[in-house]
Structure 1
């Protein structure tokens, strides 16, 4: 799988960390495993809550839960091709890079706050684990879709992508959270 692929959880995955989630795959290697960020779990925190920053656009940036692994780490995706060390995920979206330069761009107003998403923690899979989960039907792949990171609201992301896929996926998008209540 290529970086920039979106992974959508099946409606009844059974893991509260990934219920109705969309993950942006940032790295994948059959020998080393995979790394991704959950796009659909905003927190009540801002960057200013976890870093000592002066009031302003950088401090006000919301944080998302990127996954259950290492929740004390900070990760980011952005739209700044020239940021040193960034990994191209396709469609004008980049992962990581020089955080100090990103912060300087946000503080000076050179980078708009709508061009950056920040995450605490990440989602990770050991070698072969993600492939097994996909084979079992836990995840639905949506290749080359990184550009949607900045175009869809987190609360509608999962449903919107499934509807766009059409067919049986469109039907999945309408499944209730608890089928017993249907």
Structure 2
């Protein structure tokens, strides 16, 4: 029997380290409702820990259902992660139009003046095309994420800004895996539960 020189369950890691604007792509068997087949955009990564938002876990709620003074908003509310699930955060492409926003990628920003955002939404100057809302966030203590990456729970990668902001998230985990290359493509064919074959 010939020994293979690779392991499809432990493909070569990317050369990327966690950083603001990069994403974590879950390995196919990572369990749980928050992180199973998830993609997490990192918005903070430093000696104090890491913060990010799961991009592909929409709910059946809408921000205008839980924020009284948003008159109408078509985009769903996404689950950002298991931490502080009673908080509301947002990503957007409004840039410097929104005071206090933090630049994450070339066109995606995090947070900013919420009162100003609500006014922009109500005036039709911001919509689900430019704003994505999250309840809760994903957080790691110092060193915790590095340990999880070493255990092959996550692949560090990048994601096009249009995929970060899209509402059509059904297949973006698969898309991200395909863009990583051939070995990772095989991961998209694995069943969600490894006991199924």
Q: Does 1:40 align with 2:56?
A: yes
Corresponding residue pairs, total: 179
What TM-score comes out, normalization by structure 1 length?
0.91
Per-residue displacement from partner, 1:62-85 (whole Å, max 9, x unpaired)? 100000100000010000111111
Secondary structure at 1:18's aligned position in 2? coil
Unaligned runs of 5+ in 1: none
1:101–1:181 distance in 2 versus 1, CA, 3 Å? same
Q: Which has the higher strand share?
A: 1
Q: Pairwise mapping of residues 119-138 of structure 1 onto structure 2 (< 5 A)?
A: 119-138=134-153
Q: Does 1:77 align with 2:91?
A: yes
Q: Pairwise mapping of residues 19-168 of structure 1 onto structure 2 (< 5 A)?
A: 19-29=36-46, 31-53=47-69, 55-57=71-73, 60-82=74-96, 83-143=98-158, 145-151=160-166, 153-168=168-183
What TM-score comes out, normalization by structure 2 length?
0.85
1:112–1:96 distance in 2 versus 1, CA, 3 Å? same
Spell out structure 1 runs of 4+ moving beyond 6 A.
none
Unaligned runs of 5+ in 2: 1-17
CA RMSD, 1 decimal: 1.6
1:129–1:142 distance in 2 versus 1, CA, 3 Å? same
1:35–1:155 distance in 2 versus 1, CA, 3 Å? same
Structure having the higher Rg? 2
